[in-house]
Structure 1
Amino acid sequence: MMYPFMTLDNEAEITHSEYMDDGRVKVYVEKADEKDGFHHLTCYLPSYEITDVYGFDKEEQEKYMEVIRSTAHLIMEFSKDGGFENASGF
């Protein structure tokens, strides 16, 4: 299951998976694009391994990875609690 995490000011969406048995969490960034449909990036925490990129240039990738790096501790915590809404008590 994927949980919503953050919508950036450029309308890119960041979601994350549940905490997996192997200790990893999948983080997925997606942004609508008129020409291509959607651009996306997949990253696994805690290693920050990027496994799939489509449509994002190096500068965009680094921008999204900076957001992921700066919030990784929250993503990891929320992944254990069923996403932000369950972790925050909303």
Structure 2
Amino acid sequence: MMYPYMTLNDGTEITHSQLLDLQHDGTITVEVHFERTTDTGFDSARCFLPSYTWLYHEGFSAEEIKRFEQFLKRNVHLFFKFAGQGGIFCA
């Protein structure tokens, strides 16, 4: 399940997962998704925290991805907090 986090001024929606143990080794991960509508569909990007590993990024420029990564670094503690609580609206 993905929980809403924030909408940026350009319409980019940011959502995040619950706490995940994808490797089944106790390493806790949060998946963060960025999505923006376009005239022909969507720009989208997905990153795993805390490793800052990008699964993919399509439609966003390299500069936008760099800004998203800075945003993630400033908000990583909140993503983990809200992911553990069932989203920001449950906090």
Q: Calculate the TM-score normalised by the size of structure 2.
A: 0.89
Query: What's the CA shift string for 1:67-86, capped at 9, x where partnerless?
Result: 11111110011000000011
Asked whether 1:71 is paired with 2:80, we answer no
Structure 1: gaps of 5 or more residues:
none
Asked whether 1:17 is paired with 2:17, we answer yes
2:11 match: secondary structure: coil
Displacement after TM superposition at 1:5 (Å): 0.3
Partner of 2:39: 34
Partner of 1:54: 58
Q: Percent identity, please.
A: 38
How many correspondences in the alignment? 86
Partner of 2:24: none
1:28 match: secondary structure: strand
Q: Calculate the TM-score normalised by the size of structure 1.
A: 0.90
Structure 2: gaps of 5 or more residues:
22-26
